[in-house]
Amino acid sequence: MEALWAVDEIQSNWFDLPHNAFMQKDDPKDPIGAANFTHDGILNNFQPDVFTISGFLRKKNDTTPFNEVAANVKVGQTLLMRVVNAGYTVQEYRIGMPTEVTSMDGYALGVSSSSYSRPFGLEVNQPFRLTSAMRWELLATPTQRGQFPVECRIMDWITLKELFVARTFINVT
């Protein structure tokens, strides 16, 4: 069984901006020059108000779990979890069962000749953080039935202030 959790966030009022918002001139010889941009914009202050897991949306004050992306496995069945930070924030994950990290950013751990690369375990709810574009693959083999929480704290990338907590589950039958 496989679960893909791509967590992202959106500042919805950015969609209302025109194509050249906060530009004061277009200089093809210096397209990123400071003089080309105004200093009264909002693009330097990311304040997301919509949060997603694998395309399913929740508004900032909606605490409804993302049941649409819950993983369903049987006792003894191995679950591969692919987790990716698809946004601009820092994301801190906790998984309600023991897991083994087997890959980071597309590199399998323990398959090279290097003695510095090997899979490693995480205890129940042991936090791990991913920053923008980071991805991990984790394995878990549940030994008992139940509903096990998966939580992602989405935090401001500068202050680490909590912006939202996205929740889903691993359902084991």
In this prediction, what percent of the chain has a pLDDT beyond 90? 74
For 112, residues 6+ apart whose C-beta sits below 8 A from its C-beta are none
Helix, strand or coil, per DSSP, at residue 35: helix
Domains in the chain: boundaries: 2-9+48-172
Residue 149: count other Cβ atoms within 10 Å of its Cβ. 14
pLDDT at 5: 98
pLDDT tens sequence across 92-117: 999 999 999 999 998 899 887 666 78
- Indicate whether 139 pLDDT > 90: yes
Helix, strand or coil, per DSSP, at residue 26: coil
More confident of the two residues 31 and 52: 52
Q: How far apart are CA 156 and CA 55, in angstroms?
A: 21
pTM to 2 decimals? 0.87
- The answer as to CATH 3.30.300.30 being correct for domain 2-9+48-172 is no
- Indicate whether 21 pLDDT > 90: no
pLDDT (mean) for 10-26 = 79
Confidence band, pLDDT 50/70/90 cuts, at residue 85: very high
- Indicate whether 90 pLDDT > 70: yes
Type of residue found at 3:
A
More confident of the two residues 146 and 44: 146
For 136, residues 6+ apart whose C-beta sits below 8 A from its C-beta are 82, 83, 101, 103, 104, 105, 128, 130
pLDDT at 71: 98
- Indicate whether 77 pLDDT > 80: yes
